[in-house]
Amino acid sequence: MNIGFDGKRAANNLTGLGNYSRSLILQLSEFFHQDHYFVYTPKIKADKQISSFFEKENIHLELPPKFAFRPLWRTFGIKEQLVKDHIDIFHGLSNEIPVGISNAVKTVVTIHDLIYLRFPQHYKFIDRTIYNLKSEYACKHADQIIAISEQTKKDIIEYYQTDPSKIQVIYQTCDESFKHIVSNRIKSNVRTTYNLPEKYLLNVGTIEPRKNLLLIIQALKTVDPAYKLVVVGRQQAYAQQVHAEIKRQGLSERVIFLKDIPFTDLPSIYQLASLFVYPSFYEGFGIPIIEALYGKVPVIAATGSCLEEAGGPDSIYIHPNDPSALSEAINKVLHNEALSTQMKEKGLLYVQKFNAYTLAHQLMDCYTNITLAVK
């Protein structure tokens, strides 16, 4: 098959949806190397990580024609090029598909989340309006919808009244670097580079209201003082509330903020942690949780969205508004070696369901079923 992808993020973003897009296409190209993968993007970022992605023999970079209006090309002008390239299936990797291509090419769309509808107060009006228009159009016109969690599937049905039979849940995986235990030498170097404490809790993610870092700060005062908190993530305006709470609680010496961390150092930072804490109010899936579990780090997360799907039955879940429950859960894990070991071992077994081979085959089965339905 010739499979086309909306490659704007694969060709330009070094985190988040960019990693998801490249990882998915690379997995397909490895396990189904007889097929060809066309990545359509209005531009490409000059970066070694991205350029090496397009060096794969069966991954093809497709840029707009010379006189195309690039800002609108991927939404309105791409259909002729898809037909010219004999694309069998076009996959929109981030909540949208081009307008008007459904009568020319079979389409799949991945819906990551509808958080802008669940928590509209965290988004500008214009942003959530555009996100909603694109997602609703994609869900209505795509031949198949892929939801990245059961929770996202429920949201699609609730907000867009979509037929459940049109939606398939295919989970995400994380980068392969998180799936291998880092050598002690490298971990020691990383600890020295960032002056990491011997014992620490870890939280990874943008510092914004939805991620709920404030709950960890509120719980930290009653957590064993031998443990510090390391926070990795880009700070938004919400970080001011977090810093104010740290000062109010007298915890300045116990909280360490890291930002702009090279991606290659993240697996070590995870694996040096005693516990990963992720009390987010809402997620589409929760990749940081599986990054931790692959590194044999126990996880405490929050109820209320899909985090139980990512963390499995042997992680611990607390209400995202209950700091006492969080501190109690943290101390329980830190002071019970048998429990911590069990969470590590069973968590590692659980995340094998998110391995690249399994998910790539689920996705290819999805593509194949669509082409068979055409015939």
DSSP for 272-322, please give it.
T-SEEEE--S--SS-HHHHHHHHTT--EEEESSSSHHHHH-TTSEEE-TT-
pLDDT of residue 66: 85
Q: Rounded to an integer, what distance in angstroms lies between the CA atom of residue 281 and that of residue 27?
A: 30
In this prediction, residues 149-171 reach a mean pLDDT of: 97
Read off the pLDDT of residues 304-351 as tens digits, 9 standing for 90 and up.
999 999 999 999 999 999 999 999 999 999 999 999 999 999 999 999
* Cα dist from 288 to 197, 277, 351, whole Å: 21, 10, 12
CATH topology of domain 2-173+355-374: Rossmann fold (3.40.50)
The ranges assigned to domains in the chain are: 2-173+355-374, 176-353
β partners of residue 231 = 203, 257
- pTM (predicted TM-score): 0.91
pLDDT higher than 70, residue 41:
yes
Q: Six-digit token pair at 248?
A: 């109010």
β partners of residue 317 = 301
Residue 372's pLDDT band, with cuts at 50, 70 and 90, is: confident
Q: Do domains 2-173+355-374 and 176-353 have the same CATH topology?
A: yes
pLDDT higher than 80, residue 373:
no
Q: Which residue has the higher pLDDT, 260 or 181?
A: 181
pLDDT of residue 375: 47
Q: Rounded to an integer, what distance in angstroms lies between the CA atom of residue 333 and that of residue 316?
A: 9
pLDDT higher than 80, residue 135:
yes
Strands 89-92 and 2-6: parallel
pLDDT > 70 fraction of the chain, expressed in percent and rounded: 99
Residue 374's pLDDT band, with cuts at 50, 70 and 90, is: low
pLDDT of residue 227: 98
Mean pLDDT value across the chain: 94
73 φ, ψ to 5°?
-60, -45
Strands (E) located in 157-302? 167-169, 200-204, 228-232, 255-258, 275-278, 299-302
pLDDT > 90 fraction of the chain, expressed in percent and rounded: 86
pLDDT higher than 50, residue 181:
yes
Residue 371's pLDDT band, with cuts at 50, 70 and 90, is: confident
Give the CATH number of domain 176-353: 3.40.50.2000
